Amino acid sequence: MERIFGGVPKRALGLLGLMIASLIIAPAIVNAYVLSVILITLYFAYVGQAWNLMMGYAGQLSLGHTLYVGLGAYTSAALFVHFGISPLIGLFVGMAIAVAAGALIGSMAFRFGIGGVYFALLTIAFAEFTRILFEHFDWVGAMGGFFLPVENRDSSDFLNLRGGPVMFYYVILFLCFAALGVNQWLLRSRLGYYWMAIREDQEAAQAVGINTFRYKMIAVMISAAMTALGGVFIAFYYNNLFPADAFGMHRSIELILAPIIGGMGTLFGPILGAFILTPLGEGLTILMESMGVKAAGVKQLFYGVILLVIIRFVPGGVWPLISKKLGIDKRMKGKSE
């Protein structure tokens, strides 16, 4: 506990408590639509944190992160549909497969000293490769998609992750803040300091005796496992899976927007980014609909503009600016600039 809360300014803890409290009572206040928006925001905050662990902390840019989402989603869904295995068990299998995939990519890349751009491209290549494989994988529906049985949504069956939106809401709320706790703990552990050393200067890290291969592998594997868990959630929430959607590159991009906008390498960046971006995107969709404009791509265009502005003018993201204003940046910031 000391590792997680030690040294955090009171003001920050107060804000965090307020935020969690309001999110916990949210289902009793807001309507079903708003709840679904918060739910998906929390999902992006969760997977954004998982990605941030690898890019923000350990400095390894993955642009094919949806690979792990897809693997977690398909594995747990297939085990459930074909064998009736509860997703609470299936998620471990899904995470294991994602970790294996991450280990394969990592070992290929890091062993041969593939870094930076090449690594990013390798992650894309693996995700696309898997997408095409799944498009021809009949056991999980191939191109036609894979569907989970939709039963009544009134009763909640947590053991099989079947139930209404409120149950899913609390599941992702828990995951999101559990991830926050795990990240905070990791950052303050020896591992976290090794990661940041590798991020800042890999050669220097190696020179002082850090086994960079090993710690980069650990980063990829933890990130893959966390992301796969998000995949299990999204599979059972949406009840349908398509290879192009599960493994498509646009998904990978969607996944990294929140942490980039909120602030890579910061603890709160991904959460803040998700809470900025998703409601804005949803608002834009509503606005377009009310004006009777039906054009595909407007939301993405808007995301593109935001991404461009952020990376051009505030490449560190929004969180560092805010935390400075609030005076809670002393030990929250990940970057040592």
Partner 1 sequence: MTWDTIANIMIGGVLTGLVYALMALGLSVIFGVIKVVNFAHGEMMALAMYAAFVIFSTYGLDPLLATPIIAGGLFLIGYIMQRALVAPFVTRPEHEQFILLLAVAILLVNGLLLIFGPDAQSVMVEYGFDSFEVGPLILDKVKVYAAAASIAVALSLLLFFKYTRTGKAIRACSDNLRGAQVVGLNIKNLYALTFGLGAACVGAAGCLLSMLVDITPMLAPELTLLAFIIVIIGGLGSLSGALLGGVLIGASEALAGLLITPSMKSLFSFGLLILVLAIRPQGLLGKRSS
Quote the least distance from Cβ 55 to partner 1, whole Å: 7
Nearest to 248 by CA among 73, 32, 78: 73
Task: Return the SS3 of 240.
Answer: strand
Tokens 């939709």 identify what position? Answer: 150
CB-nearer residue toward partner 1: 2 or 337? 337
**Residues 242-281 as x/- pattern, contact with partner 1 by CB under 8 A:** -------xx--x------x---------------------
State which of residues 54, 69, 109, 318 lies at the interface with partner 1 (CB under 8 A): 109
- Which listed residue (18, 24, 108, 321) binds partner 1 by CB under 8 A? 108
Element spanning 81, H or E: helix 66-83
Is the Cβ of residue 74 or residue 169 nearer to partner 1 in the bound state? 74
Cα 266 off chain centre by: 14
Q: Could you give the C-alpha distances from 36 to 27, 40, 72, 292, in angstroms and in order?
A: 10, 6, 22, 23
Rounded-to-integer distance, Cα 276 and Cα 93, Å: 33
Q: Does 136 bind partner 1 (CB under 8 A)?
A: yes
**DSSP code for 241:** E
Q: For the segment 307-336, give every residue that binds partner 1 (CB under 8 A).
A: 307-308, 311-312, 315
Q: How many Å apart are CA 148 and CA 38, to the nearest integer?
A: 23
With CB under 8 A as the contact rule, the residue among 23, 34, 128, 329 that binds partner 1 is 128
User: With left for phi above 0 and alpha for psi between -120 and 50, is residue 282 left, alpha or beta?
Assistant: alpha
* Identity of the residue, 9 or 316, whose beta carbon is nearer to partner 1 in the bound complex: 316
Nearest distance, CB of residue 174 and partner 1, angstroms: 30
Q: Write down the least CB distance from residue 260 to partner 1, Å.
A: 6
Please count the residues of this chain forming the interface with partner 1, following the rule CB under 8 A.
Answer: 41
Residue from 69, 77, 124, 187 touching partner 1 (CB under 8 A): that is 124
* Candidate ranges 70-78, 92-100, 220-228, 294-302; the one touching partner 1 (CB under 8 A): 294-302
Closest C-alpha among 32, 39, 35 to residue 234 = 39
DSSP per-residue codes, 264-309: TT-SSHHHHHHHHHHHHHHHHHHHHHHTT---TTHHHHHHHHHHHH
The residue from 129, 139, 158, 174 that contacts partner 1 (CB under 8 A) is 129
Residues engaged in binding partner 1 (CB under 8 A): 55, 61, 63, 108-109, 112-114, 116-118, 120-122, 124-126, 128-129, 132-133, 135-136, 249-250, 253, 260, 295-298, 300-301, 303-305, 307-308, 311-312, 315
